Chain A
């Protein structure tokens, strides 16, 4: 589904990503963990077409998408849930979801509203409220639901648990699993290494712009290096 080779991204004069290799297979749930400033968000932004890579190649569904802008990638089924959620605070929940379907011109959008509301009943109750009045966790759910409105094949999630209370974090991860169960391939960037590794099948550990470790998630969970650095032991 996604194959990244020697990707380098510079961001504001600093080389944030220094030639990483990464792969996400069809139907997989893969996580990219690492400390603050390791280059995780920059990687995702480059994959989503919001930043232009300096070098390297990105293959998606077998085609070269390196340097393609986001608006083309969304149409190809590659969507991003940005860091900090990025909901349109003054628009209602329904309008937010409609924005998610911006690139679609088919007639099944109405159906997908129902799908989103089934997945997130809380959003249905509040669909005429401005998104800014939702709690942080609900906003995160809205951000995910909104991204799903474009019917992505690959969904990139940037720090969905950021700033949320533990109960909400748990709910968000349940949601991520549910989305994966629907057949959407996911690449998840997280600081909460434990939860991310428990939810995913494989994981990459990023350190100062490079991939330090790549393994099955279960193996990473017991890896002494990972345990010391990211699991607080």
Chain B
């Protein structure tokens, strides 16, 4: 890996190879595992965006947010309301994605402002409540005026259109059949790549360092001259933006959304992706998102496998699925507590000796 960093020529080759693999991936998956798995791949890319957004709040700024899925919901509903028969408005996604991002950012600040003084468990509880409030609002905003259509959700949401072509249909591009899930894959891939790029740049910026300082010691950060209020609000807003864009894409991809898609469990799932992948490390978090999307799906094969190996299905795969998933999480945390691919700072923390390295004058902590 280190040789890769030093040699710019090798690095370009490496990037081109990665890009080629990513472009070929949906076709290879389609040919081997089937179309369902291309769809799972699409969802995984959405979760990459979500996890990277939450990573800004939790990983960089150290603000534990248990209601993150609310921003995904806000983005999805912003898109759905303005591109569906619900109000008979059909705006272009080119306008709607920025709108969704801005609305989500607004809600991010809305959540951030009253919680500026809170940290840790207290913040977690408030954010958890916020997530539920958003979901319940969406559930009940059908009376007296019907805005969200309540628990029935919004149907017939417009698919993405690129250059006049609907992504919901199969197209033939330079002789290759590109199905809907494939087209969405490329759009999501581009967005996820943008999210990765922005995350990496943020991490290495003045703002990124301010976030880290706040995470480490908020009072000291303020004493360094960091405007802790604004910097924290910015973390919430930036994180929410990622969620808002992913939400809009999700709405267009599914064609149907309802408040049920944005439950507490989803918030927790995204948080697991961040923690499991390696809080603060962009590639780790993206990896965590892909793995945690794919793992529950892969465990669906537990039924057929039992059938094949043992003759009958002893344990219902739907029971086994969450059990194995939970066990996998526990094992992960036991053996790689800093995540699959920890950030350099976390690695350092774990590598550092517990006691301060003994210098002269054994300082007695009080």
Contact = CB atoms under 8 A, between A and B. Distances in A.
Interface in A119-167: 122, 129-130, 132-139, 146-147, 150, 162-165, 167
A135 B361 CA distance: 9
Interface stretch (A1-9, A15-23, A79-87): A79-87
A34 interface: no
Interface stretch (A67-75, A176-184, A221-229): A67-75
Interface in A54-107: 69-71, 73-75, 79-82, 86-92, 95, 98-100, 102-103
Given A50-B219, A88-B216, A132-B349, A137 B225 contact: no
Interface in B322-366: 345-346, 348-349, 352-353, 356-366
Contact of B363 (A71, A79, A168): A168
Contacts of B206: 102
Interface string B184-224: 00000000000000000000001001101100110111111
Give the one of A99, A136, A146 with max B CB within 10 A: A99
B227 interface: yes
B61 to A, nearest CB: 14
Contact of A132 (B221, B352, B363): B352
B123 interface: no
A48 interface: yes
B225 A133 contact: no
Contacts of A138: 359
B225 A74 contact: yes
Contacts of B220: 82, 86-88
Interface of A: 48, 50, 69-71, 73-75, 79-82, 86-92, 95, 98-100, 102-103, 122, 129-130, 132-139, 146-147, 150, 162-165, 167-168, 171
A102 B214 CA distance: 13
Interface residues of B, number: 34
Nearest to A85: B220
A102 B210 contact: yes
Contacts of A98: 209
Contacts of B349: 89-90, 130, 132
Give the one of B209, B220, B362 with max A CB within 10 A: B220
Given A69-B227, A91-B345, A86 B363 contact: no
A229 B359 CA distance: 34
